[in-house]
Amino acid sequence: MDEEKKKEVRYDLSGRYALTEAVRGIVNGYPHLTEGESVAFATLSETGGLALYPGGDGIIEKETRSVTGKVRQVCRYPFYVLFRAGGLTENRKAGAKEWLDGLARWLEQLTEFPELEGRRKLLGFAVLGPAYLYGVDDSHVETWAVALAARYENIYQK
């Protein structure tokens, strides 16, 4: 009988605070935002808007420790960007999906990032899947979503 040892999921509990504002700032730099448009943090009106929702704390993917007590972690900060609008025609639905997919592709191509709090450093972004229809309410307002993750390094002394 084979016993599989389950890998314990560990988190960078303070990583969310360090990453949220930086990621939101980067997302709001997307060149296809229209004049005066911005991506809010975890706030969408019932009728429309754009928002970024964190997917939780930073997940530690890899950790190395030196004999001197230096710890290096590579972490993943999951988040979602939502696009909500009502009365979407077939072309506007396709446009909402393409806008989110375009944002995801743009984030993946970035190579320069702002400084983060502490000894954290952004490494890049990954798309966790294509944009999809998240839901439709009784008033036919649609919410489209794309799942993303920011990868970052966290270095500290133990």
For 18, the enclosing helix (H) or strand (E) is helix 15-27
| Structure confidence at residue 6 (pLDDT) | 60
Q: What is the pLDDT of residue 134?
A: 95
Q: Tens digit of pLDDT for each residue in 67-89?
A: 999 999 999 999 999 999 998 89
Domain assignments of the chain as residue spans, ordered by start? 11-157
- pLDDT at 131 > cutoff 90: yes
Place 7 in a pLDDT band, splitting at 50, 70 and 90.
Answer: confident
CA distances from 28 to 64, 81, 97, 155 (A): 33, 11, 18, 27
- With 90 as the cut, is the pLDDT of residue 4 above it? no
Mean pLDDT of 42-70: 93
Q: Quick one: 103 exposed, middle or buried, by C-beta within 10 A (0-12, 13-18, 19+)?
A: buried
Q: Are 153 and 72 in contact (CB under 8 A)?
A: yes
**pLDDT above 50: residue 135:** yes
Burial code of 11-24, b = ≥16 C-beta within 10 A, e = fewer? Answer: ebeebbebbbebbb
- Token digits of residue 4: 């599989």
- Give me the pLDDT at residue 40, please: 95
Yes or no: say if 124 and 108 are a contact pair by the CB < 8 Å rule.
yes
Task: Please answer whether residues 81 and 39 qualify as being in contact, where contact means their C-beta atoms are separated by less than 8 angstroms.
Answer: yes
Query: What's residue 15's pLDDT?
Result: 81
Instruction: Give residue-wise pLDDT tens across range 23-32.
Output: 999 999 999 9
pLDDT band with cut points at 50, 70 and 90 for residue 49: very high
User: Six-digit token pair at 123?
Assistant: 């490494």
Which listed CATH number (1.10.10.1400, 3.40.50.150, 3.30.2000.10, 3.40.50.300) goes with 11-157? 3.30.2000.10
Query: Is a pLDDT exceeding 60 seen at residue 3?
Result: no
pLDDT of the residue at 73: 95
